[in-house]
């Protein structure tokens, strides 16, 4: 058994014996997904924030890496970052859990369908809030007995439906459950007042994000050579990513030798302004794609079939007209990355099956519309 599981009961007893001053106040929303999940969560955040009583503060707890997208949140929302990678270290765990209890929140809401009993659930329970709420968690055989045992620890538990459902739709229904109402799920589009200012670009530009943390979702560099060749005269291409993306994918580096192609390493908070001025964004199904769509930028997503039904393509009722998804239907769609097939080269079979001619035709059509 892991050490933190052995000591959690002891630390929990210590926290219960420690006094807290004043009445419980404030709302803590836990969103433990990655960067793309945080973009989609930001669309529904105002409806969760409305659960606060007059004068209460709303705090969103994010994974430290995902907090790079918190610039999308309303300015009145506080952000609390936790390094989930360190939560199994006893000293760090103790400090974080103690701080959460001392903050004495009135209401704690886990907004995640996929939860881990030792991570985000442990954070929620450490708060010892008088009011708690969550969705019934996604089935997870490895942790199912503990997730089932934890169900009784939530004050309100929402049965959110089938395992595969659009993330924004699921969040919207959960917010309705908590607030008591029925609202149309929001489009994947930020309101004008939350859009960062555009950064002027010297000419018509397409921003390309070919990289993914899951390498099997990446299309080959040759596809982007063909995309570059299909761009209208005078258009430039910026390849967005972290410098380490090129280190991990050296076969993409020769793309930078093509005329009018440059590398764009700006962090997301700065990249957002650049995206707003782009004529088109072409991206794998990753955080940059969700960000571009939420910013209202014409976007072409080159998607795997792994997250069909949950992430991409979006449900019809939340899809804005400026995004287009290209993907190959397969019987195994919706595997959530648990691919049972051999890769084709380095790609998932569903990614390898993308038709390059169809991609280039879509780029030509979308750039012509923006010329």
Mind listing the pLDDT tens digit for each residue in 252-287? 999 999 999 999 999 999 999 999 999 999 999 999
In this predicted structure, which of 3-17, 90-104, 188-202, 339-353 has the lowest mean pLDDT? Answer: 3-17
Beta carbons within 8 Å of 35's beta carbon, 6+ residues apart: 65, 66, 68, 69, 268, 286, 287
CA–CA separation, 46 and 48 (whole Å): 5
* Lookup: tokens for 267: 């962090």
Q: Which residues pair with 30 in a beta bridge?
A: 61, 110
**H or E element that contains 364:** helix 356-370
* Fold equal for 3-179 and 192-370: yes
Burial label for 126, CB within 10 Å (0-12, 13-18, 19+), is buried
Which single residue is written with the structure tokens 């939420």?
Answer: 294
Q: Assign residue 356 a region (left: φ > 0; alpha: ψ between -120 and 50; beta: otherwise).
A: alpha
CATH hierarchy code of domain 3-179: 3.40.50.2000
Which stretches within 104-220 are classed as H helix? 120-126, 144-150, 167-179
Domain spans of the chain, in order of start: 3-179, 192-370
3-class SS of residue 128: coil
The mean pLDDT value of the chain amounts to 94
Alpha carbon distances (Å) from 62 to 48, 90, 134, 136, 233: 15, 20, 16, 20, 43
pLDDT of 17 above 60: no
- pTM value is 0.95
pLDDT of 240 above 70: yes
Q: What is residue 165's DSSP assignment? A: -
Q: Which residues pair with 240 in a beta bridge?
A: 264
- Return the CATH architecture of domain 192-370: 3-Layer(aba) Sandwich (3.40)
């Amino acid at each position: 058994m892991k050490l933190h599981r052995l000591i959690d009961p002891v630390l929990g007893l210590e926290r219960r014996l420690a006094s807290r001053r004043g009445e419980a106040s404030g709302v803590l929303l836990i969103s433990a997904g990655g960067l793309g999940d945080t973009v989609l969560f930001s669309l529904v955040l105002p409806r969760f924030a409305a659960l606060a009583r007059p004068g209460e503060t709303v705090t969103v707890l994010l994974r430290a890496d995902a907090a790079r997208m918190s610039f999308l949140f309303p300015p009145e929302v506080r952000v609390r970052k936790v390094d989930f990678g360190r939560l199994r270290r006893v000293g760090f765990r103790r400090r974080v859990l103690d701080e959460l209890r001392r903050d004495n929140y009135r209401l704690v809401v886990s907004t995640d369908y996929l939860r881990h009993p030792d991570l985000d659930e442990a954070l929620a329970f450490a708060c010892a809030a008088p009011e708690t709420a969550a969705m019934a968690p996604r089935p997870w055989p490895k942790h199912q007995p503990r997730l089932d045992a934890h169900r009784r620890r939530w004050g309100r538990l929402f049965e959110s439906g089938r395992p595969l459902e659009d993330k924004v739709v699921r969040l919207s229904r959960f917010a309705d459950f908590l607030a008591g109402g029925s609202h149309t799920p929001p489009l994947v589009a930020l309101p004008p007042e939350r859009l960062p200012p555009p950064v002027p670009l010297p000419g018509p530009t397409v921003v390309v994000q070919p990289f993914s943390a899951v390498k099997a979702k990446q299309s080959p560099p040759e596809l982007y050579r063909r995309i570059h060749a299909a761009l209208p005269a005078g258009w430039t291409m910026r390849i967005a990513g972290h410098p380490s993306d090129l280190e991990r994918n050296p076969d993409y580096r020769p793309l930078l030798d093509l005329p009018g192609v440059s590398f764009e390493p700006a962090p997301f908070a700065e990249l957002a302004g650049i995206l707003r001025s782009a004529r088109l964004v072409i991206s794998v199904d990753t955080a940059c794609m969700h960000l571009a769509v939420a910013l209202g930028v014409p976007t072409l997503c080159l998607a795997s079939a792994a997250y069909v039904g949950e992430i991409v393509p979006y449900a019809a009722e939340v899809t804005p007209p400026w995004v287009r998804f290209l993907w190959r239907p397969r019987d195994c769609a919706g595997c959530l990355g648990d691919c049972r097939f051999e890769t084709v080269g380095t790609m998932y079979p569903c990614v390898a099956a993308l038709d390059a001619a169809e991609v280039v035709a879509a780029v030509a059509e979308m750039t012509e519309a923006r010329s």
